[in-house]
């Protein structure tokens, strides 16, 4: 693609009303989702600022009907309301211009999207970057699955610990009330209490694992994917205005066309700069995300392995040492919430 024709399209020349109808196109769920993505970032307007008569109305003052008496017209007395009306009308015109520009931009992007989808238009592709983006989306889906399973494990294991706690209390009660089996009930009660204590320690470790994966998936990865969405929108706009510029460049070179071509070049350059900036932003975020993911997961997988191994080996000392190693602090007994419960 040649940089000689790299500029923005002349948006003001395209009438939306005569070209924006896509209702006759074949149904396509993916296309519909992409169109919704194009439409989602509409202009941010305060609807109360747009008044009746603001769209294309004259700039002259409006004479109140109360001043018309009989067959004669009387000049109204000066009133602050007239000046206020002119201000409101000016705001309405400004808002209308915003809506108009947004509508033209949306039309161009929709046209480009449909053209790409049906193989009639070209799109800019950065193979390396798009491969990394798809890999990130796939990684996020897999990590979400791990997160869901780890939360399920936490909930199931919490139920087990609660049952062991209740069973230990029952054994202790029976130890007091059954002299002939006092010793047997007694050591079973102690065993259940020890399992309970170790279970709560393990839950503290597993919950730390869950909380860290949740932050990685739903904050760190999601933040990068938000920038990716902005990049993809900028890419679509870039190609839409590039296509518009290319079409104008192949047309006649009369005075009117040259004026439109110059405007298209300016508009295209602006979208090209935005696209290239976001492409660089995405590349940097993907690099830092990969480094952060490796660092976080190395620590969390080691924690998870050591804690699970120590618990099921019955090694209470190693289990407690694992929590100290990773600076995990449990709440003191009698706290309102269990020490392992993940903060939502």
The pLDDT assigned to 105 comes to 73
Given CA atoms 124, 130, 133, 138 in this order, what sign does their dihedral have? Answer: positive
- Condensed to tens digits (0 to 9), the pLDDT of residues 15-37 reads 333 333 334 444 455 655 665 55
- pLDDT tens digits for range 97-108: 566 566 767 777
- pLDDT of the residue at 36: 59
In this prediction, residue 195 has a pLDDT band, given cuts at 50, 70 and 90, of very high
**Per-residue tokens: 197:** 């204590």
Query: For residue 11, what pLDDT is reported?
Result: 31
Q: What is the reported pLDDT for 245?
A: 85
Judge whether residue 73 has pLDDT over 90. no
Q: Which residues does 57 contact at the CB level (< 8 Å), separation at least 6?
A: 89
Distance CA 120, CA 118 (A): 6
* 228-259 exposure pattern, b = at least 16 Cβ within 10 A, e = fewer: beebbbbbbbbbbbbbbbbebbeeeeeeeeee
290 or 52, greater pLDDT? 290
Query: Residue 302 and residue 322: Cα distance in Å, rounded?
Result: 10
- Model confidence at 250, pLDDT cuts 50, 70, 90, reads confident
User: What are the DSSP calls for 73-130, one per residue?
Assistant: E-PPPP-HHHHHHHHHHHHHHHHHHHHHHHHHHHHHHHHHHHHHHTTSS-----HHHH
Give the Å distances, CA to CA, from 312 to 73, 152, 201: 97, 18, 12
pLDDT of residue 28: 53
pLDDT of residue 41: 53
Mean pLDDT score, 279-293 = 96
pLDDT for the residue 87: 67
More confident residue, 319 or 259: 319
Report percent pLDDT > 90 for the chain. 46
Between CA 132 and CA 150 the distance in angstroms is: 26
Identify the pLDDT of residue 275.
94
Residue 144 scores a pLDDT above 80: yes
Mean pLDDT value of segment 174-192 = 93
Q: What are phi and psi of 336, to 5 degrees?
A: -65, -40
| pLDDT value, residue 81 | 54
pLDDT class for 94, splitting at 50, 70, 90?
low
How many whole angstroms from its chain centre is CA 138?
A: 16
**Mean model confidence pLDDT for the chain:** 76
pLDDT digits (tens, 9 = 90+) for 61-72: 333 334 334 444
pLDDT of residue 23: 40
pLDDT of residue 164: 94
Q: Please compute the mean of the pLDDT values over residues 222-228 and round it to a whole number.
A: 96
pLDDT of residue 80: 54
pTM above 0.75, yes or no: no
- Report which listed range, 4-8, 64-68, 138-142, 233-237, is most confident: 138-142
């Amino acid at each position: 693609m040649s940089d000689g024709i790299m500029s923005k399209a002349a948006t003001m020349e395209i009438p939306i009303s005569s070209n924006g109808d896509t209702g006759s196109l074949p149904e396509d769920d993916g296309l519909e989702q992409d169109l919704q993505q194009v439409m989602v970032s509409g202009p941010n307007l305060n609807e109360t600022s747009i008044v009746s008569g603001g769209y294309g109305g004259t700039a002259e003052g409006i004479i109140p009907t109360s001043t018309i008496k009989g067959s004669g017209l009387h000049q109204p007395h000066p009133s602050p309301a007239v000046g206020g009306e002119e201000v409101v009308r000016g705001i309405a015109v400004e808002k209308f211009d915003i809506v108009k520009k947004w509508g033209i931009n949306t039309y161009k992007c929709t046209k480009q999207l449909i053209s790409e989808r049906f193989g009639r238009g070209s799109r800019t592709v950065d193979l390396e970057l798009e491969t990394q983006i798809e890999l990130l989306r796939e990684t996020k889906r897999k990590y979400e699955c791990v997160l869901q399973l780890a939360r399920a494990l936490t909930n199931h294991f919490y139920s087990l610990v609660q049952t062991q706690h209740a069973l230990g209390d029952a054994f202790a009660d029976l130890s007091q009330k059954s002299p002939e089996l006092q010793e047997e009930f007694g050591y079973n009660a102690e065993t259940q209490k020890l399992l309970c204590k170790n279970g709560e320690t393990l839950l503290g470790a597993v919950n730390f694992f869950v909380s860290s994966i949740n932050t990685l998936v739903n904050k760190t990865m999601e933040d990068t994917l938000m920038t990716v969405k902005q990049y993809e929108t900028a890419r679509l706009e870039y190609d839409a205005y590039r296509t518009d510029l290319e079409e104008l460049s192949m047309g006649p070179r009369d005075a009117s066309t040259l004026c439109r071509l110059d405007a298209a070049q300016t508009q295209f350059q602006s979208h090209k700069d935005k696209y290239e900036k976001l492409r660089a932003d995405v590349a940097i975020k993907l690099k830092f995300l990969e480094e952060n993911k490796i660092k976080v997961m190395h620590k969390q997988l080691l924690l998870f392995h050591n804690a699970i191994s120590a618990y099921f080996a019955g090694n209470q000392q190693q289990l407690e040492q694992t929590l100290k190693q990773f600076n995990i602090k449990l709440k003191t007994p009698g706290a309102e919430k269990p020490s392992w419960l993940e903060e939502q």
